[in-house]
Structure 1
Amino acid sequence: MGRVTISERPFGSWPTPITSELVVAAAVRLSEARVDGACVYWSEGRPAEGGRTQIVRRSPDGTVTDLLPDGMDARTAVHEYGGAAWWVHDGVLWFTNWADQRLYRLDPGGAPVAVTPEPAVPRGDRYADGEVGPDGASIVAVREHHPVGGRGAVDVRNEIVRLAAEGGSEPEVLVSGPDFVVAPRLSPDAGRLAWVSWEHPSMPWDDTVLTVRELVTGAETVVAGGPGESVAEPRWQPDGSLVFLSDRSGWWNLYRWAPGNDIEPLVELDAEIGVPGWQLGTSRYAVLDDGSVVFARWRDGYDGLAVRRPDGAVTDLDLPFSAVTTVRVAGPDAVVVVAGTPTAEPGVYRVTLPGGGVETLRAPRDIGVDRGYLSVPEPVSFPSVDGAGTPRTGHALFYPPTNPAYRGPDGELPPLLVVIHGGPTGSATPVLSVGTQYWTSRGFAVVDVNYAGSAGFGRAYRDLLKGAWGVVDVADCLAAARWLGEQGRVDRQRLCIRGGSAGGYTTLAALAREDTPFAAGADHFGVADLEALAAETHKFESRYLDGLVGEYPAQREVYVERSPIRHVDRFHRPLIVLQGSEDAIVPPNQSEKIVDALRARRVPVAYLLFDGEQHDFRRAENIRRALDAELSFYAQVLGFVLPAGEGIEPIEVENLGQPS
């Protein structure tokens, strides 16, 4: 290679090949994978096809086939966040179609056929998390029922149903009564059904119960769970035992139960095998024929794979993966995983033991960019405080600005984007995000904050957010920004904050402070009014705020105090707001309230409403516009010039340069 000339140019204005066009070009969202015989299946969310989810099969000879015809989209609206919308058995695929939420069967060489009745309410019966029985003749699945004349979340029923695998009959309700039920799993002899349930106001990472029912007698056994314990991912084993995840030790670890026996630990580590149940059908471990368990585990902000041998020995596998979303059995000595690294988006891989050899089944896309443009995240910890002001430690991933052709002017430090993940019980993920590199390759530093309440650091860290949303998360975001400024890594006068959904709320709450250190913020479909959210949101999260804020209306004053819309008089920093018109989780009126209030006070504000988008943006053209509009916003607010040649359409920032 020839010598690279490094030019000096203001941070934020660096030309880069990582454009919004590249962010969406051929981009897919790989999520779930399943193994059926010698074939491997996975799902691909495709922005270029309107955001629909396609199911892909890889045959033993390497042939890759799209299975769903045009117009079909394998996505479920159960819990609104979905997950586990499809499953396979002996070459037959069942999937929930997004448009009508009915369950369809697709036989090899055939066309999809609906196997569930047309509901009385359009999209009123939603299916997910299914499993074909051992005889192949029946399916158990979760059904979310929205009745005729329902009054919203209060009348939605979540049930476990059984139906004929070929359809033709009304589903039979097996479990009803709990507010939520997930993970219905039949024992190998089809004599027992296991499932996980929980009640309002708990969330699945708070308190869940694992129950087993004898299907002939109806006798039930509560295996694990209850107050202070989150149980997930039950899986029957050939010997009739049940393996599951529990955080009874303070970490989501692995346990085994057999009828008539006590629970025994399989893996106990100060690391998280489980993840929060925002979506159904998570699969973080797989039990092989010899009893070995291959599992994913979060530790210190990074994910990885490990194996527990039959003798109890646990060994980390020497693999590059830093984020793992799926682990499935793929033969006597192998698993299939969906995983990514800090320099590669998620792909589908077969990992063979004992040495951990890796075969690529679905490669991550080649973004066609020299690795010199890729900023690799650095785990950092920093001093912060809890809600009472007691010192504690916060965590984050820090991405320095990275571009092999440019550097900032002497004596100048880069602007900082403080990124707030959603949830708020989510986590910053150390996997290549071209969307993050869009910023770092232009000269921005990025810190992705794992604020108190984030997953991956044990139950005690998650529980720090209880009753303290809008307090400890904001404290950590302020602390991360200030600490990086004190370390001389970023410009303390050009700190910006951005987040989506719950992260949008934290963004607004951080800006609704007289002492905010942030020069600007970007709110993606965030919460502005906690009272309105408590009244309007969907069933899954309709009581979430009880734990995060307090019971409503008994603690209405706390909701008022922590709602950014109630403190518009404190806003004085520019804000851009981006919102989907069909968002059922955070409705558009949340964004419109804050925008209208800032307009009235003549605070600089920009607003984009994306027609047809739900919670998070799925369409390529909207993802591009949102990124470029936010960049244009920062350029105007921070005072740098956009690089030429990208065709970025400027966003209008109302009231910019005018006194408020």
Structure 2
Amino acid sequence: MRDTVQQQTVATAPYGAWHSPVDAALVASHDGHPEYVGTVGEEVWWTAPRPAEGGRRALVRRRTDGAEVPVLAPPWNVRSKVMGYGGTPWAAVDRASGGPLVVFVHFADQRLYVHEPDAPAGGPPRPLTPLSPVGEGLRWADPVIHPARGEVWCVLEEFTGEGPTDVRRVIAAVPLDGSAAGERAAVRELTDDRHRFLTGPRLSPDGRRAAWIVWDHPRMPWDGTEVVLADVAEDGSFTGARVVLGGPDEAVAQIEWAEDGALLAATDRTGWWNLHRLEPAAARTGGEPAAEAGGEPAAAEAGGEEAGTEAWGRAGRPVALCPREEEFAGPLWKLGHRWFAPLSGGLIAVLHGRGAATLGILDPRAGEPADVPGPWTEWEPTLAVNGTRVVGVAASPHSGHEVVELDVCTGRSRVIGSAHTDAVDPAYYPRPHLRTFTGPDGREIHAQVYPPHNPGHSAPDGELPPYVIWAHGGPTGRAPLVLDLEIAYFTSRGIGVAEVNYGGSTGYGRAYRERLRERWGVVDVEDCAAVAEALADEGVADRHRLAIRGGSAGGWTAAASLTATELYACATVSYPILDLVSWATGGTHDFESCYTESLVGPLAEVEDRYRERSPLYRADRIGAPFLLLQGLDDTICPPEQCERFLAAVSGRGIPHAYLTFEGEGHGFRRADTMIRALEAELSLYIQTFGLTRSDVPTLELLNPAAPNSTGGAS
């Protein structure tokens, strides 16, 4: 990384008072990254963020001449709401004439549309699916186009009532001719709705079988899933469905077919998400017929047949292709996440590692992946293959997310889309350190520490910098080690950041992520505090100027931390969970409505625990200022929790501010929202830490306290 401003005069100024070219508008313009990569003929397509266009997701294609062009003009927004977080929202096929045919989900109405972007006659996209007046209507994700059948197969999420959990999900076939655009009955259901959740089908190379993943409440997909296999009849219906892998304590995250007809699966049956191969004679366990989660032989999903009606129902055991204490997959938050992709000739493109994932090419016969050379240290769970080409999305601590292509034959990798360009001199970028801290009971805590860094400034001798602890969302997730201009916004001003991959995070094996089981609000809070304490003990951070921030589950951790410790001088809490009781009793969307069963415990058995840990019921313990940020269209963490929390805090003299944003859901996507939120957060730190700055609007705090240059609860 070049430092072109190294020779300039270095000014001495207090931490937090440094001048920086990384402003909030710049951060907002670079928010988000490419997602859902696919190949269409020789072209590569993906979705891309457009913060300046109301936060829409554009569908972009890279032509064979290298030009990047939009497939759809505004206001088309290619994004699904299935399960709240969405999934793959598009599919396309190349055609001998007329150019590609693309099917996509439009965010505004969640209908499937079909479009021919190269058709001479042009014309807007045409709807394929109807609207429904019931609840939140019909939603679609993970589509696969079958031109010969004249259909697109995908996951259908259908609301049956007005409540957030009044919903059913099936795999459905939608006619490409538009005949279902006004007629729900024209949508053909390929499965029944006995399972609460499922992924889109993966069709075998010979077209005779389909496989998909299912799971049910109260499990989340990283707790336990099953792989269902069915035969595909001549008319396209599924028959003889049976479970061939998985169970309540085994999470299969992804399945794909090898070209020889074997089924490949990323499963954590060994304690790590490793890649396994199931031969046609393989089932769940040796010597026993395939069974459903309850342990009985699996009944048919469709067609009324018993499990084990042919070779795929017989006994066998999946074979690990590269047994390692590494992760070859991750949490299935969105339908269509893809951590591996089979190549011709038996090779497999894989993402693997501890913590950060790298791209490798696995030869199952050798059992060792050959990693791809290049500067990228993190890869997103979106891979596509075409012949000997592998395409993915990657980033590093010095570059943002880019679309990268690997030629397996030559070993050459290159950026082909969304190429990173330095928006400011890279000398202002943060310089992170990977750290492993020791927490309570001697447990390991993984974190990324970003010290203050600005080539034009240094701090007075003896001064320690303020630090903000960042708690990631999920909580079953992980903070990636990539260039993030939001972090640079703070570090280049003299405020340190520490991202904590607390117990419960993914990337470190099943045992690490299950540390949070029934201990949410305890382990995450303790681990964040342990990192903050360690930085202070080491003389890295000013103990009196520590803050915590997070969004969603990270917002929960930030708010819970204010009620559990006096360590932090202030907190920024974004679209948080604040009341576990209401969240677990219809106060959130269906996907996470039973999440607390594993994170906290069964509500019927430990309701007191739900109340004891919830910041709403511990508001009297808060003594530090806080900023609360909330999207008014959020159905995952609805605004009513924030409003009840503020009522509980009211009258206690705690300085705070509450900012709401129309048109924003769970997570902020609009440039103006992100600018306002980021500047408000900085203003909170200015006022709490006693910093001297005048480059952001002053956040108006209710019950304001005098600036506290030594930090601590006001």
Determine if contact 1:11/1:414 at 8 Å carries over to the other structure.
yes
The 3-state SS of whatever aligns with 1:121 is coil
One of 46, 59, 82 as aligned partner of 1:42: 46
Sort the Cα spacing of 1:328 and 1:177 in 2 relative to 1 into closer, same or farther, 3 A.
Answer: same
Match of 1:412 in 2: 463
What is the aligned length? 649
Does 2:163 align with 1:152?
yes
One of 570, 574, 579 as aligned partner of 1:520: 570
Does 2:505 align with 1:505?
no
Sort the Cα spacing of 1:367 and 1:318 in 2 relative to 1 into closer, same or farther, 3 A.
Answer: closer
One of 362, 381, 398 as aligned partner of 1:343: 398
Distance (whole Å) between structure 2 residues aligned to residue 471 and residue 589 of structure 1:
24
Distance (whole Å) between structure 1 residues aligned to residue 30 and residue 493 of structure 2:
22
One of 265, 268, 289 as aligned partner of 1:244: 265
Q: CA deviation at 1:310?
A: 4.7
Distance (whole Å) between structure 2 residues aligned to residue 444 and residue 394 of structure 1:
22
Match of 2:34 in 1: 30
Q: CA deviation at 1:273?
A: 1.4
Determine if contact 1:328/1:335 at 8 Å carries over to the other structure.
yes
One of 634, 646, 655 as aligned partner of 2:703: 655
Please give the residue correspondences for 1:572-611 in structure 2 after superposition, counting only pairs within 5 Å. Answer: 572-611=623-662
Determine if contact 1:599/1:605 at 8 Å carries over to the other structure.
no
Q: CA deviation at 1:559?
A: 0.4
One of 604, 611, 614 as aligned partner of 1:553: 604
Q: CA deviation at 1:151?
A: 4.8
Query: Counterpart amino acid of 1:171?
Result: V
Determine if contact 2:361/2:371 at 8 Å carries over to the other structure.
yes
Match of 1:568 in 2: 619
Deviations 1:246-301 (A, max 9, x none): 011111111122322442222222111111111111111122112111211131x3
Please give the residue correspondences for 1:92-131 in structure 2 after superposition, counting only pairs within 5 Å. Answer: 92-108=101-117, 109=119, 110=122, 111-121=124-134, 123-131=136-144
Which segment is superposed worse, 243-252 or 215-224? 215-224
Deviations 1:327-372 (A, max 9, x none): 5344332201111111111011111225531222113342431221
List alignment gaps of at least 5 residues for structure 1.
none
Distance (whole Å) between structure 2 residues aligned to residue 3 and residue 107 of structure 1:
54
Does 2:54 align with 1:65?
no
Query: Counterpart amino acid of 1:34?
Result: G
Distance (whole Å) between structure 2 residues aligned to residue 122 and residue 524 of structure 1:
27
Query: Counterpart amino acid of 1:64?
Result: E
Deviations 1:409-452 (A, max 9, x none): 11001111000000000101101111111111111111100000
Determine if contact 2:171/2:200 at 8 Å carries over to the other structure.
no
Match of 1:315 in 2: 370
Match of 2:358 in 1: 304
Distance (whole Å) between structure 2 residues aligned to residue 11 and residue 99 of structure 1:
44
Match of 2:229 in 1: 212
Sort the Cα spacing of 1:341 and 1:557 in 2 relative to 1 into closer, same or farther, 3 A.
Answer: same
Deviations 1:179-233 (A, max 9, x none): 1111311222322111100010000111000010113382123221002100122
Determine if contact 1:326/1:339 at 8 Å carries over to the other structure.
no
Q: CA deviation at 1:94?
A: 0.7
Determine if contact 2:46/2:59 at 8 Å carries over to the other structure.
yes
Does 2:193 align with 1:189?
no
One of 428, 433, 446 as aligned partner of 2:497: 446
Match of 1:490 in 2: 541
Sort the Cα spacing of 1:182 and 1:505 in 2 relative to 1 into closer, same or farther, 3 A.
Answer: same
Q: CA deviation at 1:628?
A: 0.3
Which segment is superposed worse, 58-67 or 46-55? 58-67
Distance (whole Å) between structure 2 residues aligned to residue 496 and residue 28 of structure 1:
25
Distance (whole Å) between structure 2 residues aligned to residue 405 and residue 356 of structure 1:
40
Deviations 1:93-117 (A, max 9, x none): 1111111111001113342111112
Distance (whole Å) between structure 2 residues aligned to residue 126 and residue 368 of structure 1:
37
The 3-state SS of whatever aligns with 1:290 is helix
The 3-state SS of whatever aligns with 1:311 is coil
Distance (whole Å) between structure 2 residues aligned to residue 84 and residue 314 of structure 1:
27
Determine if contact 2:384/2:392 at 8 Å carries over to the other structure.
no
Match of 2:677 in 1: 626
Match of 1:56 in 2: 60
Deviations 1:453-481 (A, max 9, x none): 00111100111111000000001001000
Match of 2:286 in 1: none
Which segment is superposed worse, 526-535 or 255-264? 255-264
Does 2:22 align with 1:18?
yes
Query: Counterpart amino acid of 1:441?
Result: S
Does 2:524 align with 1:473?
yes
Distance (whole Å) between structure 1 residues aligned to residue 419 and residue 595 of structure 2:
35
Match of 2:189 in 1: 173
Match of 2:97 in 1: none
Distance (whole Å) between structure 2 residues aligned to residue 156 and residue 329 of structure 1:
31
The 3-state SS of whatever aligns with 1:35 is strand
Determine if contact 1:140/1:185 at 8 Å carries over to the other structure.
no
Match of 1:532 in 2: 582
Q: CA deviation at 1:87?
A: 1.2
Match of 1:201 in 2: 218
Distance (whole Å) between structure 2 residues aligned to residue 153 and residue 611 of structure 1:
21
Match of 1:86 in 2: 90
The 3-state SS of whatever aligns with 2:344 is coil
Query: Counterpart amino acid of 1:571?
Result: I
Distance (whole Å) between structure 2 residues aligned to residue 605 and residue 346 of structure 1:
35
Q: CA deviation at 1:42?
A: 0.7
One of 408, 424, 430 as aligned partner of 1:369: 424
Query: Counterpart amino acid of 1:655?
Result: N
Distance (whole Å) between structure 1 residues aligned to residue 591 and residue 147 of structure 2:
31
Deviations 1:4-28 (A, max 9, x none): 2111111111110111011123655
Sort the Cα spacing of 1:452 and 1:444 in 2 relative to 1 into closer, same or farther, 3 A.
Answer: same
Which segment is superposed worse, 230-239 or 576-585? 230-239
List alignment gaps of at least 5 residues for structure 2.
95-99, 181-185, 283-315, 707-712
The 3-state SS of whatever aligns with 2:190 is strand
Query: Counterpart amino acid of 1:352?
Result: D
Match of 1:360 in 2: 415
Deviations 1:523-558 (A, max 9, x none): 001111111111211100000011101112332101
Determine if contact 1:26/1:48 at 8 Å carries over to the other structure.
no
Distance (whole Å) between structure 2 residues aligned to residue 369 and residue 583 of structure 1:
33
Distance (whole Å) between structure 2 residues aligned to residue 184 and residue 556 of structure 1:
39
Match of 2:299 in 1: none
Q: What TM-score does the superposition give when structure 2 sets the normalisation length?
A: 0.88
Q: CA deviation at 1:326?
A: 4.2
Determine if contact 1:272/1:457 at 8 Å carries over to the other structure.
yes
